[in-house]
Amino acid sequence: MKMTKLAAVLAATLVAAPAVAQDLHFPMLNYRTGPFAPGGIPFADGYQDYLTLINQRDGGIGGLPIRTSECETAYNTERGVECYESIRGDNPLILQPLSTGITYQLIPRVTADGIPLHTMGYGRTSALEGETFPWVFNYPANYWDGASVAINYLLEQNEDSLEGKKIVLIYHNSAYGREPIPTLENLSERYGFELVEVPVDSPGQEQSSQWLQIRRERPDYVIMWGWGVMNAVAIQEAANIRFPMDHFIGIWWSGSENDVVPVGAGADGYTALTFHGVGRDYPVYEDIQTYVVDRGMAAGNGDQIGSAVYSRGLYAAMLAVEAARTAQELAGHAQITAAEMRTGMEHLSITEERLTELGLPNFSAPFDVSCQNHGGSGAAMMQQWDADTQTWSLITDWIQSDRELIGELATADAAAYAAENSITPGCL
């Protein structure tokens, strides 16, 4: 008798538990430790600060508070799996794994479990094919966009002709570093420039032979796909061989303060791609100061605010919040599920007016997500480092990537994936 009562109570709590949870769960898979911690810390801070701001200023999204949970991956795939397993039963709405390796493991898992995955500026490029990868989103830009934008920028600089120019790609010898190669090879055929590939083995503490080679090659431009300590060393070596810094272009993961500050004055003029605004000249930072920093709720040490990767974390959080808002409108209720969140992400529309409302005017290129295109606009800007003021500044407007070419490459890759895993592409 007593036992049945107890069991009934237990069962009731178990059944009722999900309904009680009146909040929106935004888990964070961060890496504040390990070899890549310097890149992981600002992103995590930015992501968390923006969500704190939404909670503090607006009381959450649609009246529901955002609940964050942090899981430390140390950029390690096994820890990533552990983190995923620990949060997947806790109604996560959106996952940002922050690592290409973890992304590849999670793609089949989230597809089976029905949890949206947002890999912003990393991860699997062909995931922009929404029909093959319904649960994976990589808006607003991916690596192939990055390569294409870099070349388009150089075309702009050279009166639309790169004929006979020599461009070196120095890259992290890993899956990530090799991403741009097919795109760049393709573009080199089209525009007639010579592409020289120079790999650097992880971690890249010692690069003198690579830079001797670059010095011998006398390239017109160097494009870098680097990560971690490799960035700083490469920029240092480039400064050492007196390579003109404004002819040295890094991908967005090679364009943070961590990469240029250790080099000091030598890094002045180094350029990097970015798919979001940089610096603190956005009205939203006043709110962050008032509602987050002044209330003592800043994430981490609070010393990263306004840095390049912090902005990226903030941007990711902003997109997640906007997607949740869209999802709430579409669903007609505030307590959305992961599936409704996915629908929201698929109907996400970032417009200039909305960005201004959010206090982030021109922070992002406007874009619409659709079932077919999970990849956003593909536009990016160029930022340049000023060593005197220790700031990044934007030197171009949005530069559009060659989406036609990228679409072709992505369709082929997605088709191969679909065939390997017997997926029938289609909208959910």
Partner 1 sequence: MSDTVLFAMEAALNGLTVGIMYSLVALGFVLIFKASGIFNFAQGVMALFAALTLVGFQNGQVPFAPLINAIFGTSVHDFGFNMPSLLAIPATVVVMVGMAWLIERLVLKHLVNQEPIILFMATIGLAFFLEGLGDIMWGAEVKRLDVGIPQGMSGAVDDFTYNWLGYGFYLDTLNLWALVIAGIMVTALVIFSQYTKQGRALRAVADDHQAALSVGISLRFIWVLTWSIAGIVALVAGIMWGSKSGVQFSLSLIALKALPVLILGGFTSIPGAIVGGLLIGVGEKLFDFFMQPVIGGATENWFAYMLALVFLLFRPQGLFGEKIIERV
Partner 2 sequence: MLYREAGDFKTSYASDNQTFPIRFDRVAYWVVMAFAFLVLPMIMGDYWANSVVVPFLIYVIAALGLNILIGYTGLLSLGTAAFMAVGAYATFKLTTSFPGMPIYIVFLLSGLITSAVGVLFGLPSLKIKGFYLAVATLAAQFFLIWLFTRVGWFFNYSTTGQISMPERSMFGVLITGASASSTAVYFTCLIFVVGMAWLARNLTRGTVGRSWMAIRDMDIAAEIIGVNPLIAKLSAFAVSSFFVGVAGALTFAVYLGAAEAGEAFGINKSFLVLFMVIIGGLGSILGSFLGAAFLVVLPVILKLLLVDTLGWPADLARHLEVMIIGALIIIVLIAEPHGIAALWRTIKDKLRLWPFPH
Q: Would you list the DSSP string of 350-367? A: E-HHHHHHTT-TTSS--E
Q: Judge contact between 137 and 374, C-beta under 8 A.
A: yes
Stretch that binds partner 2, among 15-23, 71-79, 228-236, 319-327 (CB under 8 A): 71-79
Residue 334 is encoded by which pair of tokens? 């505030």
Among 174, 335, 372, 411, binds partner 2 (CB under 8 A): 174
Q: CA-based angle 37:106:67, to the nearest 5?
A: 65
Q: What kind and span of H or E run contains 71?
A: strand 66-72
Residue 86 binding result from partner 2, partner 1, none, given CB thresholds of 5 to 8 Å by partner type: partner 2
Residue 233 interacts with which of partner 1, partner 2, none, CB < 5 to 8 Å by class = partner 1
Q: Looking only at residues 1 through 40 of this chain, which bind partner 2 when binding is defined by CB under 8 A?
A: 30, 32-33, 37
Three-state SS for 92?
strand
Minimum distance, C-beta of residue 182 to partner 2, in the bound complex (Å): 6
The reply to whether 142 sits near partner 2 by the rule CB under 8 A is: no
Residue whose C-alpha is closest to residue 136's, from 410, 404, 419, 422: 410
Q: What distance in Å separates the CA atoms of residue 163 and residue 154, rounded to the nearest whole number?
A: 11
Question: Which one of residues 62, 65, 114, 182 is an interface residue with partner 2 (CB under 8 A)?
Answer: 182
For the beta carbon of residue 286, count every other beta carbon within 10 angstroms: 11
3-state secondary structure of 305: coil
Kindly state the smallest distance separating residue 274's Cβ from partner 1, in Å.
19
- Tell me, residue by residue from 354 to 393, as one string, x for binding to partner 2 by CB under 8 A and - for no binding: ----------------------------------------
Binding status of residue 108 toward partner 2 by CB under 8 A: yes
CA dihedral 416, 418, 421, 424 (to 10 degrees): -150
Nearer to partner 1, 36 or 153 (CB): 36
Q: Which residue ranges make up the site for partner 1 (CB under 8 A)?
A: 32-35, 37-38, 41, 173, 197-203, 205-206, 208-210, 212-213, 215-216, 228-229, 232-233, 236, 239-242, 258, 261-264, 266, 296, 301-303
**167 pairs with which residues across the strands?**
195, 221
Helix (H) / strand (E) element for 368: namely strand 367-368
For partner 2, the binding residues (CB under 8 A) are 30, 32-33, 37, 41, 70-72, 74, 76-78, 81-82, 85-86, 89, 100-101, 104-105, 107-109, 111-113, 124-125, 173-176, 178-179, 181-182, 201-202, 300, 413, 420-422
